[in-house]
Amino acid sequence: MAELAARASTWWAIFQINFYEKLVYRGDFMLGTLMRFLPIVTQIFLWSAIFSARGGGDSAGEEIVGYTYYNIVAYYLLSTISRAFSSMPGLASGIALQIREGEIKKYLIQPLDLISFFLLNRVAHKLTYYIVAAVPFAIVFFICRGYFEGWPPTHVLCAYAFSLILSFMLGFFMEATIGMIGFWFLEVRSLLFVYMLFTFFLSGHMFPLDMLNELGGPWSTIVKSLPLMYLAYFPAAVFLEKITGAELMWGLIVQVGWVVFFIIASRLAFHYGVKQYSAYGG
């Protein structure tokens, strides 16, 4: 029990240090939040033009694959929140850089778990970000409140909050796994570029993924079989009640499954990577 308390005290101290360190960059967080919403302006104009063309100059009342113009704008706002949870800028490249330059050995010679340390760092980062960004988020959503039909039921809000937490976990452990590949290849920027490219298109960042149902064939099934959809599309679709009932429960179970899968994958990559890692000099 005493050992467990000492370990918890150590992790709490690490979390506090990271939290106060991130607060130094609060101005950057606030500006970054506002910049996140700027691309949505382009999407609003683009989809307004699409719905207007379909409705002969009037976007109201038109539907495309079950989405009205207001649904689409609400979806993009919500997917921005999802991406704010699941995006991990610099995590994979930072781990690979530390492996390549030998800095990672400082974690290996101390009684400190590397993955847990990076996870606490990201938790502190996200917590600081949302404390600082709460005001810009509130302003943007207040201005755009007309695009929403109202608050969903309580159980949907709970499912939405749970899916956001899982999207954070999934984003972290996926990028941590990619970063650990640096033990074998040292340079992972090309791999990371491919991952970011696929994430941009297949996470639902560009459009709601259920629009693929209209394409026919296996495309919708393939895309929805990947873990990427849980980074942006799934939480937003849950809030908008596009996914309900048994489909919602199954989606949350699969999302948990992907999180567990990448926790194990990152642990295995770290375990076997350290076994073949060599560091020289001071």
Q: Which residue ranges make up each domain of the chain?
A: 1-276
pLDDT band at 280 (very low <50, low <70, confident <90, very high): low
pLDDT exceeds 80 at position 55: no
pLDDT exceeds 90 at position 76: no
Least confident of 21-25, 151-155, 176-180: 21-25
Q: Which of 186, 179, 173 is nearest to 277 (CA)?
A: 186
pLDDT exceeds 80 at position 120: yes
pLDDT of residue 147: 85
Tens-digit pLDDT profile for residues 6-53: 777 777 777 777 777 767 776 776 677 667 667 777 777 788 888 888
Q: Which of 122, 141, 124, 137 is nearest to 30 (CA)?
A: 137
pLDDT of residue 279: 65
pLDDT band at 266 (very low <50, low <70, confident <90, very high): very high
Q: Which of 89, 162, 153 is nearest to 126 (CA)?
A: 89
Give me the mean pLDDT over the 114-135 stretch.
83
pLDDT band at 165 (very low <50, low <70, confident <90, very high): very high
Least confident of 33-37, 111-115, 140-144, 272-276: 33-37
What's phi and psi for 110, nearest 5 deg?
-115, 155
Tens-digit pLDDT profile for residues 201-213: 888 888 888 888 7
The dihedral region occupied by 204, where left means phi > 0, alpha psi between -120 and 50, and beta the remainder, is left
pLDDT exceeds 70 at position 57: no
Rounded to whole angstroms, the Cα distance separating 131 from 19 reads 11
Stronger pLDDT, 232 or 62, i.e. the higher one: 232
Tokens read off for 20: 């106060």
Give me the mean pLDDT over the 141-150 stretch.
84
Tokens read off for 102: 């030998």
High-pLDDT (> 90) share of the chain, %: 21
pLDDT of residue 125: 81
Give me the mean pLDDT over the 237-255 stretch.
91
Rounded to whole angstroms, the Cα distance separating 276 from 282 reads 19
pLDDT exceeds 90 at position 239: yes
Q: pTM for the whole thing?
A: 0.84
pLDDT of residue 238: 93
Give me the mean pLDDT over the 178-194 stretch.
84
pLDDT of residue 89: 83
Handedness of CA 164, 198, 251, 248 (dihedral sign): positive
> Which amino acid is located at 221 in the chain?
T
**pLDDT averaged over every residue in the chain:** 83
Cα–chain-centroid distance for residue 72? 20
For 103-256, where are the E strands, in sequence order?
A: none
Contact 66, 139 (CB under 8 A): no
Instruction: Say which residue the tokens 């050992």 belong to.
Output: 3
Give me the mean pLDDT over the 140-155 stretch.
85
pLDDT of residue 34: 67
Q: Which of 225, 232, 116 is nearest to 171 (CA)?
A: 232
Burial 10-22 (b: 16+ CB within 10 A, else e): eeeebbeebbeeb
Tens-digit pLDDT profile for residues 82-112: 888 888 888 888 888 888 888 777 777 777 7
Rounded to whole angstroms, the Cα distance separating 22 from 108 reads 24
